[in-house]
Amino acid sequence: MQTSFTFALLATLLTFGSASAAEVRIQRVPGGGLQPQAVTDARGVLHLVYLKGDPKACDVFYSRREAGKADFSAPLRVNSQPGSAIAIGTIRGAQFALGKAGRVHVIWNGSGQAEPKPATKSSPLLYTRLNDAGSAFEPQRNLIKGTLHLDGGGTVAADAEGNVFALWHGAPPDNNAGETGRAVYLARSRDEGKTFEGERVVSPEASGACGCCGMRAFADAQGTVFALFRTASTALDRDMMLLVSRDRGERFTGDYVHRWRVGQCPMSSEAFTAAGGRVFAAWETAGAVQFAALDAKTAKAVTPAGPAIMVKGKHPAVAVNKAGETLLVWTEGTGWQRGGALAWQMFGADGKPAGAPQRRDGVPVWGLAAAVAESDGSFTVIY
């Protein structure tokens, strides 16, 4: 496996481009919820999933805001067992994807009381989907069959053909190597989530997986599946790796996108979005957030960009509007049992910063932010 790029992010080399005209609207999660995940569909509908309740045993909710409207719909509870989700750690909460005909697919780490559990009696990875009528979510199901030690959050992607891809990192029952013996697993559905195949390893041999870091998956309009996760090939090598499948989950190839040598788990997360036929990703390395476009032919990340003022950031979100402008969003000062501030910066279509980073206090404990591009070219940030 070859390194796709190696770079040092030097803020002093970044020059401001022209100021962006795109409006950025900031709002809290409805009802004071946590860890929002947001997607806008082709009709301009904003879909939102978030957590609410006791961080140790909370609930997952889904709401939507129709195009041209200001208010979100009354929320639907996603989890069929109350208190079966977890917000602690910030990277174990719900993720979702829009699949065939816009069906909503949701996945999350189960809380200590969550059911059903795997046969191993370890923590479940729970999944559900919106029913055919679009009126409620089906009873939650566990997707783990034989792996152990679910830690960092699971993730889900879905394509327009009815394929659903659930991924997580865990360990086989005979693992004696700790994090270096972990791997990324895939459970795939070919029937819109009605049934799932048993899990199988899709990460390269000996890549390991950083136990308490989250991961993120995404399927583009062509059905290519992308996934980002942090490796743990040694106790000190915690590199960001991109997994790509061009055959709807049959085979994945892996490539390092950013090296990081650190002797601890940073509890980091990642983000994806698509615009103009391109896929964009964002992640954190060495205390800094950055984003990059993924080359459509090689599925490698191009040289990334980050905030013009170097700050320690976490939990990036990224959105790209129809003019090619990119909004990078992150949190500052957040950590274990600690809230912080919301920060964001606009980048022009040329990839250069368009104005200075902005900052607002008020991110709650276990909080993060989501960002979407609206159909009129503006952006909405929800935290």
DSSP β-bridge partners for residue 330: 343
CATH of domain 11-382: 2.120.10.10
Question: Average of pLDDT values for 25-37?
Answer: 97
Is the separation of the CB atoms in 56 and 86 below 8 Å? yes
Whether 11 shows a pLDDT value over 60: the answer reads no
User: Residues 161-213: pLDDT tens digits?
Assistant: 999 999 999 999 999 999 999 999 999 999 999 999 999 999 999 999 999 99
Query: Higher-confidence residue: 72 or 20?
Result: 72
* Rounded Cα gap, residues 38 and 248, in angstroms: 24
The model's confidence at residue 299, banded by pLDDT at 50, 70 and 90, is low
3-class DSSP state of 32: helix
pLDDT in the model for residue 19: 53
**Per-residue three-class SS string for 204-244:** CCCCCCCCCCCCEEEECCCCCEEEEEECCCCCCECCEEEEE
* Rounded Cα gap, residues 342 and 363, in angstroms: 6
Sign of CA dihedral 318, 188, 254, 268: positive
pLDDT in the model for residue 132: 97
* Rounded Cα gap, residues 346 and 327, in angstroms: 5
DSSP letter string over 284-313?
EETTEEEEEEEPTTT--BPPPB--SS----
In angstroms, the Cα distances linking 348 to 143, 288, 325 are: 41, 20, 5
User: Residues 108-139: pLDDT tens digits?
Assistant: 999 999 999 999 889 999 999 999 999 999 99
Whether 155 shows a pLDDT value over 70: the answer reads yes
Task: Return mean pLDDT, the chain.
Answer: 91
State the pTM of this model: 0.93
pLDDT in the model for residue 221: 94
User: Residues 94-106: pLDDT tens digits?
Assistant: 999 999 999 999 9
pLDDT in the model for residue 37: 98
Whether 311 shows a pLDDT value over 80: the answer reads no
Domain locations in the chain?
11-382
Question: Average of pLDDT values for 44-50?
Answer: 98
Question: Average of pLDDT values for 74-94?
Answer: 98
pLDDT in the model for residue 27: 97
3-class DSSP state of 33: coil
